[in-house]
């Protein structure tokens, strides 16, 4: 089975998964992008805009992420964008069990795409992939190797949209990311 078909199969599993839908709203957002991507960006969960169209990072934080990508010469269609939680949970914090469950689907996607680098956008992505809570404010802009994969840690674009000092941090992190990508 080719990568595109394998990712479509996971998207179908997500759309049929009652556990994924539990206490959530809107369309599933399994992720999108290049199935052969060398870089995979992982957020936390879809927002309201994403849940309306079934696509990741289309709201304000998505526009900021697209700006950041463009600033370092990356097109959205060259990467794969997703998150551990695949449905919009409304205006409440994610529960640990929701992240753990969604990470099962996410890990299958990572296995299929097999990127050279995972870019972890914020606390939820970090805890989902690294399987522990870490202080993103202390680790941002750094690479951590985990389970045989390189993971670049930065803030979630929503933080950059809300707070100007975090926006500046993300811009600097993406400049570091640009240098790292040249060495991959």
Question: Any idea what the CATH number is for the domain that residue 113 is in?
Answer: 3.40.470.10
By the 10 Å C-beta count (0-12 exposed, 13-18 middle, 19+ buried), 96 is classed as exposed
Rounded CA separation 33/78 (Å): 7
Residues 6+ apart with CB under 8 A from 178: 72, 73
| Any domain includes 163 | yes
| Any domain includes 90 | yes
Amino acid 56: pLDDT: 97
> How confident is the chain (184 residues) per 10-residue block, as mean pLDDT?
94 97 95 97 96 96 97 97 96 93 97 98 96 92 95 97 97 97 90
Domain extent at residue 161: 3-178
User: Hey, is 164 helix, strand or coil?
Assistant: helix
Rounded CA separation 34/113 (Å): 8
Amino acid 8: pLDDT: 97
| Any domain includes 184 | no
| Any domain includes 91 | yes
Amino acid 40: pLDDT: 98
Domain count, the chain: 1
Amino acid 132: pLDDT: 86
User: Hey, is 108 helix, strand or coil?
Assistant: helix
Amino acid 178: pLDDT: 97
- Which candidate, 35, 38, 76, places its Cα nearest to that of 183? 38
By the 10 Å C-beta count (0-12 exposed, 13-18 middle, 19+ buried), 72 is classed as middle
- Which candidate, 160, 143, 152, 151, places its Cα nearest to that of 67? 160
| Any domain includes 99 | yes
Amino acid 104: pLDDT: 97
Amino acid 1: pLDDT: 66
Global model pTM greater than 0.85:
yes
Q: Using one digit for the tens of pLDDT, what is the confidence trace for 35-45? A: 999 999 999 99
């Amino acid at each position: 089975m080719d990568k595109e078909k394998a990712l479509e199969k996971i998207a179908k599993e997500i759309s049929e998964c009652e556990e994924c839908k539990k206490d959530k709203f809107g369309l599933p957002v399994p992720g999108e992008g290049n199935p052969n991507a060398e870089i995979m960006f992982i957020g936390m969960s879809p927002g309201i805009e994403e849940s309306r169209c079934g696509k990741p990072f289309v709201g304000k934080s998505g526009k900021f992420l697209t700006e950041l990508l463009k600033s370092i010469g990356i097109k959205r269609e060259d990467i794969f964008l997703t998150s551990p939680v695949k449905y919009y949970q409304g205006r409440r914090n994610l529960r640990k069990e929701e992240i753990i469950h969604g990470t099962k689907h996410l890990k299958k996607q990572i296995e299929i795409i097999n990127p050279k680098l995972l870019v972890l956008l914020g606390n939820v992505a970090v805890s989902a992939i690294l399987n522990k809570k870490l202080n993103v404010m202390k680790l941002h802009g750094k690479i951590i190797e985990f389970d045989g994969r390189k993971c670049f840690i930065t803030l979630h674009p929503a933080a950059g949209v809300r707070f100007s000092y975090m926006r500046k941090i993300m811009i600097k992190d993406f400049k570091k990311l640009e240098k790292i990508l040249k060495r991959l």
